[in-house]
Amino acid sequence: MKAYHHSIQESVRLREVLIILSKYGLADLFKEVKIDWVRKYIKSKRKELPNQFTKHQLIRMALSELGTTFIKLGQLLSTRSDLVGVELAEELSKLQSSTPADPFEYVEATILNEFQVSSLQDVFAEFNVEPMASASIAQVHRASLRTGEQIVVKVMHEGIIEKVKSDLEIISQLANMAEQFVSPLKIYQPVATVRELKNTMLNELDFRKELSNMQVLADNFANNPGIHIPVPVVELSGRKILSMEFVKGTPLGSLSQPAWPKERLSHLAEVGAHAYLEMIFRDNFYHADPHPGNLLMLEDGSLCILDFGMMGRVDQQLNESLEELMIAISQNDIELIRTVVIELGRVPPGVNYEVLTTQIDDFVESYLQLPLEEVSMGQALKDMISIIHEHHIILPAKTFNLLRVVMMLEGTGKALNPKFSISSILQKYQYKIIRHKFSPARIGKKLTRSMRDWDHIFSESPRLISNILNRAQKEDFEVRLEHRNLEKSVNRLVMGILTAALFLGSSLLLATQVPPLFRGLSLAGLAGTILAFLLGLKLVKDIYS
């Protein structure tokens, strides 16, 4: 154990992290870690803090003192109430990540080095020394080009890449120790959570990826005049610098009904909601940070989206589940809603399915009885997440990020129009989803994909069956069955296997022309193929009924 990741044992930063955690009484969790160099720094250095601070507040204060990377970790956890619970998530949402601006000399040197020029005048007609803003990763300056075009230039902070990577390494080691030695923390999946944080932050440390995200979104909304994506200045952008057009607008968080017409704000909320639904369901690529500061209303009434460092993708499996959920909600199909909700997460062994399904059914029924305009999607998702957290069900990060975006959209929409209902918008949009799901082009793609899958099954089946038979002859061959209220699913699975076997056998009879024959076709093979087709249709009907 003494050799456990020796490379960071003597890290000054690691000692600082452990001391700060100890100061806030949070390093006690690591007392179970039987590693000498860790226990060496976990001492009684807890700061005398007033009793009114809760454990959740102490966690927030510790992360804030630890700096940029740990603040980002806290902000990530604030979006994962399924992991940490609603109360801690709400406390961590208060974390702010503002950072003092770097001296202008560093900004100038970074630009000159990035573009291999001798002076700023070689690139810009004018460059403001004072930054407009300074966040955790970069600071922003106004500038103008020789063409007269007004732009903004994001410049990464000095040493931020090395500092973040060092902190991520330390956080990774702490997560590994927590998952290996600290039982109470295992349910929070520290290693998987930190892996998500690393992916997010490493992407933010390369502005070329943000530039690419901007270009993709701009192409996706090229024919939508209601949505504006800032035009990047590609030739003045690189890993540490990102230049784009300066957009003059009003942040949605600064809009208020007394100063702006109610109809205009209501229209803007609907435009934004429809745009995000298009990103999610049409493009499967969406802006994952739609808080009011990243959304501007322009003079022409259009919506401008800013900050493209955090993006989300919807893969095929998640897209299918979302479409199924939308259809189930439109049909008030409680059983299908329950099935999709459970399938979206990873259910731990030993969960009480009877209690879980009862809670989900009660939850769904309580909301289906309400008129759509009275349904708060944000509150509904919070209630659902509470059930998920209670049963220690883990939602994949991609799924929870999407739910978080929907909650943020509703909050932003209600800030513009108190009567805004994301549920009503979703109802209008669901018909487009259904048309897309059952369009000939979509069905054709699914059939083509299925044919490839079946071809793979047919070609691999003889080898796999041979392997199973060989293993069955060995004494260590085991078959484990676990029953969890899956009667219908098991019956359908068995029927599917029998149907596939019948189809495969019948195909072989047809291919080898086993008599009796009729016009060169094996009658037994033909009959089996027709029967397999009918059984397949019945199986599809049972699944969707």
Say if residue 406's pLDDT is above 90: no
**What is the greatest pairwise CA distance in the chain?**
93
More confident residue, 288 or 80: 288
Residue 142: what pLDDT? Answer: 96
Say if residue 330's pLDDT is above 80: no
Say if residue 415's pLDDT is above 60: yes
Residue 238: what pLDDT? Answer: 93
More confident residue, 49 or 119: 119
Question: What's the CA gap between 463 and 465, in Å, rounded?
Answer: 6
Q: What percent of the chain has pLDDT above 70? A: 81
Q: What percent of the chain has pLDDT above 90? A: 21
Residue 97: what pLDDT? Answer: 67
Q: Which of 76-85, 195-204, 511-520 has the highest mean pLDDT?
A: 195-204
Residue 245: what pLDDT? Answer: 96
Residue 478: what pLDDT? Answer: 67
Say if residue 47's pLDDT is above 60: no
More confident residue, 80 or 256: 80
pLDDT class for 372, splitting at 50, 70, 90? low
Residue 392 is encoded by which pair of tokens? 């220690």
Question: What's the CA gap between 121 and 101, in Å, rounded?
Answer: 22
Say if residue 306's pLDDT is above 90: yes
Block residue for tokens 């955790």: 136
Say if residue 466's pLDDT is above 50: yes
pLDDT tens per residue across span 146-161: 999 999 999 999 999 9
Q: Which amino acid is at 481?
A: L
Residue 5: what pLDDT? Answer: 45
Residue 224: what pLDDT? Answer: 94
- The CATH number, out of the four listed (1.10.260.40, 3.90.1150.10, 1.10.10.10, 3.30.200.20), of the domain defined by the range 98-162+204-246: 3.30.200.20
Say if residue 482's pLDDT is above 50: yes
Residue 4: what pLDDT? Answer: 43
Smallest CA-to-CA distance from 279 within 190, 186, 402, 176 is with: 402
What average pLDDT score do residues 326-335 get?
Answer: 72
Does residue 207 contact residue 242 with C-beta atoms inside 8 Å? yes
- Lowest-confidence pick of 282-286, 493-497, 499-503: 493-497
What average pLDDT score do residues 397-402 get?
Answer: 81
What average pLDDT score do residues 232-253 get?
Answer: 92
3-state secondary structure 10-65: CCHHHHHHHHHHHHCCCHHHHHHCCCHHHHCCCCCCCCCCCCCCCHHHHHHHHHHH
pLDDT class for 2, splitting at 50, 70, 90? very low
Smallest CA-to-CA distance from 396 within 317, 324, 285 is with: 317
pLDDT tens per residue across span 22-36: 788 776 666 665 556
- Residue 282 carries which DSSP code? I
pLDDT class for 442, splitting at 50, 70, 90? low
Please report the beta strands in 169-257, taking only residues with DSSP state E, as ranges in sequence order: 227-228, 241-245, 250-251
What average pLDDT score do residues 280-294 get?
Answer: 87
What average pLDDT score do residues 141-147 get?
Answer: 94
More confident residue, 543 or 239: 239
Verify cis geometry, omega within 30 degrees of 0, for the bond prior to 349.
no
What average pLDDT score do residues 422-451 get?
Answer: 71
Say if residue 320's pLDDT is above 60: yes
Does residue 328 contact residue 337 with C-beta atoms inside 8 Å? yes
More confident residue, 482 or 513: 513
- Lowest-confidence pick of 146-155, 277-286, 372-381: 372-381
Residue 216: what pLDDT? Answer: 96
Mean pLDDT rounded to a whole number for the chain: 80
Question: What's the CA gap between 204 and 289, in Å, rounded?
Answer: 13
Residue 6: what pLDDT? Answer: 41
C-alpha gyration radius of the chain: 28
pLDDT class for 402, splitting at 50, 70, 90? confident
What average pLDDT score do residues 494-504 get?
Answer: 76
Residue 246: what pLDDT? Answer: 96
Does residue 68 contact residue 97 with C-beta atoms inside 8 Å? yes
Residues of the chain with CATH 3.30.200.20: 98-162+204-246
Say if residue 476's pLDDT is above 80: no
Residue 275: what pLDDT? Answer: 93
Residue 149: what pLDDT? Answer: 94
Say if residue 268's pLDDT is above 80: yes
Say if residue 334's pLDDT is above 80: no
Residue 51: what pLDDT? Answer: 63
Smallest CA-to-CA distance from 520 within 510, 507, 505 is with: 510
pLDDT class for 10, splitting at 50, 70, 90? very low
Say if residue 401's pLDDT is above 70: yes
